[in-house]
Amino acid sequence: MDESDALLAAFHRTAEPAAARAVERLLRDGSDADLARINAVRLAAQAGLDDEPVIAALLHGARLGLLEMAWNVLCPSCSGVLEAPASLRGVRQEYHCAFCALDSQPVLDDTIEVTFTVSPRVRRIAAHDPDGLGLWDYQRQVFFGSGVAFPEPAAFDALAQRVLVEAAELKPGERIILALPLGTEPLIVVDPVTHAAHTLTVEGEPAPERQDLALVFDDAPTSAGSHAVRPGPLRLSLDNRSSRRVLATVFRLGPDLEALIGGRQPFLTAKRLLSNQTFRDLYRTDTLDIDQRLKILSLTFLFTDLKGSTELYARVGNLVAYDLVRAHFRLLHEIVAAEGGAVVKTIGDAVMATFPAPHRAVAAALRMRAAMQDLNRERGADDLVLKIGLHEGPCLAVSLNDRQDYFGQTVNVAARVQQLAASGGIFATEAVLHHAQAARHLAEAGAAARAELRSLRGIAEPVPVYEIT
């Protein structure tokens, strides 16, 4: 048995069977392009499986060494990969996309994606040596993120032919001259390797003589420039003073380029992965640096507390009470994971969990209440009572006590809402229940929500809070 067979055998022992088979088929039969940046959401759709077991399988594969995981920082406009660190620790606070002339701060909701690449220990693909990739393969497999949906091959080839004016590969230290006849459409000179871009605005009367323009590519990050030229012949001098090759490409700006690279498809976001139970179990401390703060625009928090647990220990004894509390934790963990969330931490008999969308948290809350009722019926008692609070909003992903955690007013409000809940109650804020899918889930479950203004500790004004009955 070779190394890859041994790794696959271990992989099948850890991942859900159908998801493991789908990943193994991809590793064995997928094209090099398929394996360069694996989009977990797309893979699940192609295999006809739910996202969660496929994401979990890819995480197990990465932990075993079958796959390599990358956190790609994306331009919010073009979805080009501005940086691809191996972990969130490598994500910086500011980025610039020269192609779009856009400054941005990374946001875990939609501008940091997580992709997987087959390990060279298992199978070598062209993307393991990106300097050997041609222009379009480099664009699709390295420069753009997995959320870009390129047209089908025939349409792609036709569009590529219309947008491409000229292209040239320059080795370090090499210099070439391109002769370009300029019309009236604007052009952009892009190098996807050094992330340099120079816009050429064509305006005015045709030039009576040949124009000259010199562009230099160096190792400065994401260098950008803009030049105004007139219609007519242009001699474009390109000088590679960087330490890497340059794929200098001249594109026509306009609707054809937008059609070529403007399609989008779902992908695995950093926010979703941080709220994935398998990820938190496998990568407990390998997430953020102690001083790192990354923005999340929308995350749903669920807090629970086990009512009367102190009295329970006194009534049934430490050993029985301990087993009951552990059973309650096990149920909650299973429900959170099944609804695509993750338990961030437990505090005494309380749980703090996160979900990427409000409707998943609402579904988890209803299942938790039903599960505790079932557990009480099995015991012939009614002393295990869960109080639940939900809130959605922006927050910061941080590192606290060597674990990935969250900070901000949204977290505080969620905890305060839980404190309002009476025995067996579920309380949620307006932000949660005004989410269309959350409201639809409540209606399908036959649940009702009754609103009232409540004061929350530390919050100046009363806020609308809904009790779910």
Q: Tens digits of per-residue pLDDT, 224-252?
A: 889 999 999 999 999 999 999 999 999 99
Is 279 a member of any domain?
no
Is 278 a member of any domain?
no
**Interval 395-411 mean pLDDT:** 90
Determine the pLDDT at residue 308: 65
Total structural domains within the chain = 3
Q: Tens digits of per-residue pLDDT, 27-68?
A: 999 999 999 999 999 999 999 999 999 999 999 999 999 999
Same domain, 231 and 352: no
Is 375 a member of any domain?
yes
Determine the pLDDT at residue 325: 81
Portion of the chain with pLDDT greater than 90, in percent: 77
Same domain, 32 and 103: yes
pLDDT tops 60 at residue 1? no
| Residue 188 CB partners (closer than 8 Å, separation 6+) | 99, 197, 198, 199, 200, 250, 251, 253
Same domain, 105 and 192: no
Same domain, 298 and 354: yes
Same domain, 439 and 414: yes
Is 276 a member of any domain?
no
Beta-bridge mates of residue 188: 199, 251
| Residue 41 CB partners (closer than 8 Å, separation 6+) | 51, 265, 266, 267, 268
CATH number at residue 372: 3.30.70.1230
What six digits make up the tokens of 344?
């961030």
**Which amino acid is located at 461 in the chain?**
E
- Domain span including residue 237: 156-261
Same domain, 8 and 129: yes
| Residue 464 CB partners (closer than 8 Å, separation 6+) | 429, 430, 451, 452, 453, 454
Is 285 a member of any domain?
no
**Please, which pLDDT band fits residue 285 given cuts at 50, 70 and 90?**
low
Q: Which residue has the higher pLDDT, 203 or 322?
A: 203
What span, in angstroms and rounded, lies between the C-alpha atoms of 281 and 284?
6
Same domain, 249 and 307: no
pLDDT tops 90 at residue 319? no
Determine the pLDDT at residue 223: 75
Determine the pLDDT at residue 310: 64
Determine the pLDDT at residue 86: 86
